[in-house]
């Protein structure tokens, strides 16, 4: 992270506090955050999104909709307050600016305003219950620690980040092509993963059972320390979604990027992990023998990993292999290294709270910016704007007459624009249509009833 | 009338398509009292036949044929209207019979659902479609054109499950994916743009689930109505019939002497060892040991002995002799002789009581000091094993018997015992202790050329 020089000699320094007026120390603290919420956080856009078209302009709007959404704030010192709700953009904005939460989570839309939930809990009829919630996914790179050797835990670099990229591609394609969803927002989680928000009306109204079904549809990697084989692909052929993911994304990525970059077959420790996945011990021994004999790179200039992978493939896929378990072994290996590893619990329940986009991650200072799934190869987590960087950019820009759209003169501008044009506007258009259609349908129904 | 019956004539080939009734509401038909009982008995034969088939672990194809045969044998009528009427009436009568306890409801639900499943399958696809719209399932049949365009993918899905796309399966239904969460979760359907393409056998499961859920609720309601009004209202007319139907045993009643004529008192000891089923062996041993049996045991054993061919005078002598150490002759004549004569139809109503069937014996719960009932059901595992060994059952066979017992297939356990003891198979299965006796005698006679 580079520190940039702020301009000198400005009287209206935005940053208060000790130290030079030039650079903005690379930190995350409440003061910075306050300025961020004051000038950069897109309150109005978040409000429009969460309203889903219920802005009161059309008679078919549900004016109570936004007010029934739960937000939760994590304040400084880890104080956590749930069941926050707001009735207008102003209320939302003021509360955020005042409380300056280190993290904002978004929960479901309930049957009644969460602030009034106690009144309804008394009736014992379970009237306080989630009624709508986006279909969400959470993918975390620390779940891939067994297949990346460059980093562990919370660290991420450009070598291993592509695992997230391919996860986005696989899931995004399936959500659109298989499930027919259209309004999908992918967001960088600020440190080591990505979140996905599926916002179609149909998705928001899914029951827990239906969410679980979708999560199970995506569930292929059964990761567990106790099993060697975490992927099992029985059947004569792969299910269409799996076949498509393999041929369009996973195979290419594994063979051309992951294999050489992570040196998956270069050393004994690493290639043993792959050999363990071959159910036929004689095949595994044959490969082991060959590779042990050939410890140094061979004459060819080709990467040793690729050479060995070709050897493995040619044995396993040769016509001679009749054994049942070997039929899909190559695919199973590729899947076990590259197939998306979702956090199932996040997706299965309507009441799961998920971090809001455009929050700042306290540990990295990075903003949770949207990712364009059509361009996710270009996304670089190491260059995502940080809090201090944004404040510096604000400083450099100088004072402005209007406080509107301050984000536009910072690196955040790109993200907000993308959010609006690629996601929010199409979504709202579709919501308006839905509201209108359902309103007209109701009118028609009551007309029919009356005409008796 | 809500009989979901339609005599639709397809214009092309003048075939009458009659639909499976859904039994949504009781028919406002007039039924003769005899028909009330007879229809129910015929249907009961079908359901019991199904129960028997399932207990024996018949494979699906065998069950399909069995159900068809049972239906043809008992429920068919040359006139479609008559057949449907009988179908509906018998179902509703049996609802009254089987709504009264949890166990009865479970059994009835299970058998009716199985019956429904098979009848749905063998219906025409037109009939199936009509039924699905009755259930308000949002299924649309896939047009030929669409099928052709999707055939590859549908085939791929089938093969991924280890199945093939037979021509017979070319009927697919299109439904929003949210309607079939289980199939989506297991990747057992092809989904595209939010639609799931469901094969006909998968549709059957869904329809049957709906049927089952509906019937389950209906039975609870029927029970309430029965207890609150019907039973009292109908106490002189329908109630006795309903109550009798439940315990009706539909095979031969062994009240008349069978082919082996008489058994004399000196033969009993011998035949008890070779040809009595465990329940009667146990009672017999106990009466010898304790010189007494309580009422339930006296009835069960006494009627059995009558069915075996013991004449009244011999019976009186037998019991008197066995009870002698504890009961004086005078007391015996006063307190026990009357009941024995009663059993033989020489007293009171002169009803010639029939020996108890397995079903009846299994259903009783012996109390303290009782030895009647079905030992496969009531003996502790240890005691049962010991008793089987004493009968001469090999340890291997004992395991098989215990397996049936654990799964609550008591009659099958007894059948296996018979087969183990006699070294020959008993295809018909044991349904009645006297049947066990007769079959045993037959086997022994064919082996030795004489009755044991």
Task: Give the model confidence (pLDDT) of B266-290 as tens digits.
Answer: 888 888 999 999 999 999 999 999 9
pLDDT of B386 > 90? The answer is yes
pLDDT average, residue stretch A411-421 = 95
Report the distance separating Cα A138 and Cα A197, nearest Å: 9
Inter-chain touch A179–B156, beta carbons under 8 Å: no
The chain B residue lying nearest A178, using CA atoms, is B192
- Tracing tokens 């199985």 back to the chain, one arrives at B114
The span from the CA of A273 to the CA of B349, in Å, is: 84
Instruction: Tell if the CB–CB gap between B156 and A213 is shorter than 8 Å.
Output: no
Band (pLDDT 50/70/90 cuts) for residue B363 is: confident
Q: From CA B448, how far away is CA B452, in angstroms rounded?
A: 8
Minimum mean pLDDT among A228-232, A359-363, B293-297, B385-389: which range?
A: A228-232
| Residue B60 token pair | 């699906």
- In whole angstroms, give the CA distance from residue A259 to residue B70: 63
Evaluate whether B267 touches B275 at the Cβ level (below 8 Å). Answer: no
pLDDT in tens, B227-248: 888 888 888 888 888 877 776 6
Q: Which of B236, B237, B233, B163 is nearest to B201 (CA)?
A: B163
Please write down the HEC assignment for all residues of A323-374.
Answer: CHHHCCHHHHHHHHHHCCCECHHHHHCCCCCEECCCCECCCCCEECCEECHH
The proportion of chain A whose per-residue pLDDT surpasses 70, expressed as a percent, equals: 87
Instruction: Say whether pLDDT at B310 is over 80.
Output: yes
A62-74 confidence digits (pLDDT tens):
999 999 999 999 9
In terms of pLDDT, which residue wins out, B51 or A294? Answer: B51
Q: What is the DSSP letter of A386?
A: B
Which CATH code of 2.40.170.20, 3.20.20.140, 1.25.40.10, 1.20.930.80 fits the domain covering B33-123+209-246?
1.20.930.80
Min Cα distance A209 → chain B (Å) is 7
* pLDDT value at residue B366: 84
pLDDT value of position A99:
96
Q: In this structure, which long-range contacts are made by residues B148-155, counting pairs with CB atoms below 8 Å and at least 24 apart in sequence?
A: B150/B190, B150/B192, B150/B197, B153/A240, B153/B190, B153/B192, B154/B190, B154/B197, B154/B199
Asked whether residue A9 carries a pLDDT value surpassing 80, the answer given is no
Catalytic residue (choose from A55, A70, A132, A393) = A70
| Mean pLDDT computed over B92-119 | 88
Catalytic residue among A55, A93, A134, A140: A140
Q: Give A412's contacts (C-beta < 8 A, 6+ positions apart).
A: A40, A367, A369, A385, A390
Window A:164-183, CB contacts with B under 8 Å:
177-181
- B103 Cβ contact partners less than 8 Å away, ≥ 6 residues apart: none
CA distance B298 to chain A (A): 55
Output DSSP code: residue A422: I
Enumerate residues 6+ apart whose C-beta is below 8 A from B447. Answer: none
Q: How confident is the model at residue A278 (pLDDT cuts 50, 70, 90)?
A: confident
Return d(Cα B50, Cα B67) in angstroms, integer. Answer: 7
Is A138 part of the annotated catalytic residue set?
yes
Predicted local confidence at residue B164, as pLDDT: 79
Question: pLDDT at residue A100 above 90?
Answer: yes
Given a cut of 60, whether residue A200 has pLDDT beyond it is yes
Q: Which of B160, B186, B190 to mutate to test the interface with A (most CBs of A within 10 A)?
A: B160
| pLDDT value at residue B348 | 73
Closest partner CB to B185 (pick from A180, A213, A241): A213
- Specify the 3-state DSSP secondary structure of A118: helix
**Mean pLDDT along residues A236-240:** 90
Per-residue confidence (pLDDT) for residue B53, from 0 to 100: 82
pLDDT score at B81 = 84
> What gap in Å lies between CA B74 and CA B79, rounded to an integer?
14
- Mean pLDDT for B340-352 is 78
Q: Is the pLDDT assigned to residue B48 strictly greater than 90?
A: no
B190-218 mean pLDDT: 88
pLDDT of res. B452: 43
Q: Which pTM value belongs to this model?
A: 0.68
3-state helix, strand, coil in chain B (%, to 5): 65, 5, 30
- Determine the pLDDT at residue B447: 78
- Residues B397-407 have pLDDT tens digits of 999 999 999 98
- Which range in A219-223, A234-238, B256-260, B316-320 is most confidently predicted, on average pLDDT? B316-320
What lies within 8 Å, CB to CB, of A258 at 6+ separation is A147, A162, A163, A264, A337, A338
Q: What is the pLDDT of residue B232?
A: 84
**CB-CB contact of B336 with B319 (8 Å):** yes
Whether B160 sits inside 8 A of A181 (CB atoms) is no
CA pair distance A15, A394, nearest whole angstrom: 10
Q: Indicate the average pLDDT of chain B.
A: 83
B138 vs A contacts (CB less than 8 Å): none
Which residues are CB-neighbours of B116 under 8 A, at least 6 positions away?
B20, B208, B211
What local confidence, expressed as pLDDT, does residue A342 receive?
A: 92
**pLDDT confidence band for B256 (50 / 70 / 90):** low
* Residue range A30-221+342-444, CATH number: 3.90.920.10
- Provide the β-strand partners of residue B174: B140, B197
Q: How far apart are CA A209 and CA B185, in angstroms?
A: 10
Neighbours of A412 (CB within 10 A): 24
Beta bridge partners of A130: A110
- pLDDT of B289: 92
**DSSP code string of B304-341:** HHHHHTB-HHHHHHHHHHHHTTTS-HHHHHHHTHHHHH
φ, ψ of residue B58 to 5 degrees: the values are: -65, 145
Residue A326: pLDDT over 80: no
Query: Of B427 and B403, which is predicted with more confidence?
Result: B403
Task: For residue A405, name the pLDDT band (cuts at 50, 70, 90).
Answer: confident
The ipTM of this complex is: 0.87
Q: Which of residues 187-206 of A touch B (CB under 8 A)?
A: 202, 206
- Name residues whose C-beta falls within 8 Å of residue A407's C-beta, 6 or more positions apart in sequence: A39, A40, A42, A413, A416
Q: In chain A, whose CA is at the least distance from the CA of B186?
A: A217
Contact A236 B162 (CB under 8 A): yes
Max Cα distance, chain A (Å): 89
Look at residues B307, B385, B322, B391 and name the one whose alpha carbon lies nearest to residue B352: B307
B157·A214 Cβ contact <8 A:
no
| pLDDT value at B350 more than 90 | no
Instruction: Give the pLDDT score at A17.
Output: 45
B323 backbone dihedrals φ, ψ, rounded to 5°: -80, -10
Chain A residues touching B163 at Cβ < 8 A: none
**Rounded Cα–Cα distance for residues A364 and A122 (Å):** 43
Distance between CA atoms of residues B299 and B304, nearest Å: 8
Residue B251 is predicted with a pLDDT of 58
b/e A134-160 (16+ beta carbons within 10 angstroms → b): bbbbbbbbbbbeebbbebeeeebeeeb
Residue % of chain B over a pLDDT of 90: 33
* Per-residue confidence (pLDDT) for residue A437, from 0 to 100: 93
pLDDT over threshold 50, residue A412? yes
Question: Distance between CA atoms of B329 and A1, rounded to whole angstroms?
Answer: 110
Query: pLDDT category, A10, cuts 50, 70, 90?
Result: very low
B186 touches chain A (CB under 8 A): yes
Q: Which residue has the higher pLDDT, B231 or A101?
A: A101
Percent of chain B with pLDDT over 70: 89
In this structure, are residues B200 and B165 in contact, taking their beta carbons and an 8 Å threshold? no
Which of A110-119, A153-162, A197-206 has the highest average model confidence (pLDDT)? A197-206
Is residue B168 pLDDT above 60, yes or no?
A: no
Question: Please, which pLDDT band fits residue B15 given cuts at 50, 70 and 90?
Answer: very low
Could you tell me the residue ranges of all domains in chain B? 33-123+209-246, 134-206, 265-450
* pLDDT classification of A298: cutoffs 50, 70, 90: low
Label residue A399 by pLDDT band (50, 70, 90).
low
The full set of domain ranges for chain A reads: 30-221+342-444, 240-337
Q: Give the Cα separation of B224 and A243 in Å (integer).
A: 54
Q: Answer whether B160 sits within 8 Å of A235, measured CB to CB.
A: yes
CA torsion sign, B173 to B178 to B183 to B186?
A: positive
A184-188 and A193-198 beta bridge pairing: antiparallel
Least confident of A3-12, A113-122, B308-317, B436-445: A3-12
- Tell me how far the alpha carbon of residue B422 is from its chain's centroid: 26
Provide the pLDDT for residue B281: 95
**Please, what is the average pLDDT of chain A?**
87
- How far is CA A381 from its chain centroid? 13
């Amino acid at each position: 992270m580079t520190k940039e020089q702020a301009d000198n000699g400005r009287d209206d320094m935005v940053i208060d506090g000790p130290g030079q007026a030039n650079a903005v120390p690379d930190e995350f603290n409440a003061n910075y955050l306050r300025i961020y919420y004051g000038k950069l956080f897109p309150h109005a856009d978040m409000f429009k999104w969460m309203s889903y078209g219920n802005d009161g302009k059309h008679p078919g709007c549900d004016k109570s909709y936004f007010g029934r959404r739960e937000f939760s704030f994590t304040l400084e010192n880890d104080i956590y307050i749930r069941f926050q709700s707001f009735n207008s953009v102003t209320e939302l904005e003021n509360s955020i600016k005042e409380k300056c939460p280190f993290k904002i989570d978004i929960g479901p839309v309930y049957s009644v305003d969460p602030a009034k939930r106690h009144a309804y809990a008394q009736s014992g009829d379970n009237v306080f219950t989630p009624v709508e919630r986006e279909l969400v996914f959470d993918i975390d790179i620390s779940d891939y620690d067994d297949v990346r050797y460059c980093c562990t835990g919370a660290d991420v670099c450009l070598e291993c980040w592509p695992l997230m990229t391919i996860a986005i591609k696989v899931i995004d394609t399936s959500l659109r092509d298989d499930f027919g969803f259209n309004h999908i927002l992918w967001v960088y989680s600020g440190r080591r993963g990505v979140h996905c928000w599926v916002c179609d009306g149909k998705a928001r109204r899914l029951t827990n059972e239906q969410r679980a079904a979708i999560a199970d549809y995506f569930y292929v990697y059964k990761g567990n320390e106790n099993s060697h084989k975490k992927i099992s692909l029985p059947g004569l052929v792969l299910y269409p979604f799996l076949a498509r993911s393999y041929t369009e994304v996973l195979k290419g990525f594994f063979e051309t990027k992951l294999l050489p970059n992570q040196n998956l077959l270069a050393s004994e420790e690493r290639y043993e992990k792959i050999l363990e996945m071959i159910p036929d011990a004689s095949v595994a021994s044959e490969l082991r023998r060959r590779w042990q004999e050939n410890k140094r790179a061979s004459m060819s200039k080709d990467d040793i990993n690729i050479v060995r992978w070709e050897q493995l493939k040619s044995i396993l896929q040769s016509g001679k292999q009749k054994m049942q378990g070997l039929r899909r072994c190559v695919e199973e290996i590729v899947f076990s290294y590259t197939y998306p590893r979702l956090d199932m619990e996040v997706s299965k329940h309507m009441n799961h709270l998920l971090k809001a986009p455009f929050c700042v991650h306290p540990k990295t200072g990075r903003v949770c910016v949207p990712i364009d799934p059509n361009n996710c190869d270009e996304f670089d987590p190491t260059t995502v704007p940080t809090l201090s960087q944004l404040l510096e950019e604000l400083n450099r820009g100088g004072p402005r007459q209007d406080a509107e759209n301050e984000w536009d003169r910072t690196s955040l501008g790109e993200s907000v624009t993308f959010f609006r044009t690629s996601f929010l506007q199409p979504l709202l258009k579709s919501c308006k249509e839905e509201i209108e259609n359902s309103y007209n349908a109701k009118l028609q129904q009551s007309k029919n009833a009356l005409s008796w | 009338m809500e009989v979901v019956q339609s005599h639709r004539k397809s214009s092309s080939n003048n075939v009458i398509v009659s639909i499976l009734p859904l039994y949504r509401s009781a028919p406002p038909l007039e039924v003769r009292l005899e028909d009330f009982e007879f229809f129910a008995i015929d249907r009961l034969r079908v359901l019991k036949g199904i129960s028997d088939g399932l207990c024996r672990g018949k494979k699906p194809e065998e069950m399909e044929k069995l159900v068809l045969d049972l239906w043809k044998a008992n429920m068919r009528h040359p006139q479609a209207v008559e057949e449907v009427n009988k179908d509906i009436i018998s179902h509703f009568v049996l609802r009254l019979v089987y709504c009264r306890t949890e166990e009865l409801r479970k059994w009835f639900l299970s058998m009716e659902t199985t019956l429904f499943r098979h009848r749905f399958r063998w219906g025409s696809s037109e009939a199936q479609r009509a039924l699905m719209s009755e259930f308000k399932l949002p299924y649309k049949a896939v047009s030929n054109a669409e099928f052709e365009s999707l055939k590859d993918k549908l085939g791929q899905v089938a093969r991924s499950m280890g199945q093939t796309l037979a021509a017979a399966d070319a009927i697919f239904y299109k439904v929003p994916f949210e309607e079939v969460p289980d199939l989506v979760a297991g990747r057992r359907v092809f989904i595209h743009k939010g639609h799931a393409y469901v094969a006909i056998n998968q549709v059957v499961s869904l329809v049957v689930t709906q049927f089952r859920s509906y019937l389950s609720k209906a039975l609870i309601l029927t029970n309430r109505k029965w207890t609150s009004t019907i039973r009292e209202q109908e106490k002189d007319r329908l109630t006795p019939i309903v109550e009798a139907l439940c315990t009706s045993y539909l095979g031969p009643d062994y009240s008349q002497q069978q082919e082996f004529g008489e058994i004399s008192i000196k033969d009993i000891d011998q035949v008890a060892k070779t040809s009595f089923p465990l329940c009667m062996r146990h009672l017999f041993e106990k009466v010898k040991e304790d010189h007494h049996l309580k009422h339930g045991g006296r009835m069960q054993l006494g009627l059995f002995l009558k069915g075996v061919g013991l004449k009244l005078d011999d019976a009186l002598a037998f019991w008197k002799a066995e009870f002698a150490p504890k009961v004086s002759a005078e007391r015996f004549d006063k307190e026990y002789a009357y009941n024995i004569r009663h059993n033989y139809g020489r007293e009171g109503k002169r009803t010639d009581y029939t020996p108890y069937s397995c079903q009846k014996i299994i259903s009783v719960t012996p109390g303290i000091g009782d030895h009647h009932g079905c030992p496969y059901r009531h003996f502790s595992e240890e005691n049962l094993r010991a008793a089987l060994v004493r009968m001469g059952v090999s340890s291997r066979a004992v395991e098989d018997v215990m397996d049936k017992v654990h799964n609550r297939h008591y009659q099958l356990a007894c059948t296996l015992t018979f087969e183990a003891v006699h070294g020959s198979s008993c295809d018909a299965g044991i349904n009645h202790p006297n049947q066990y006796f007769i079959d045993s005698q037959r086997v022994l006679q064919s082996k030795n050329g004489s009755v044991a």
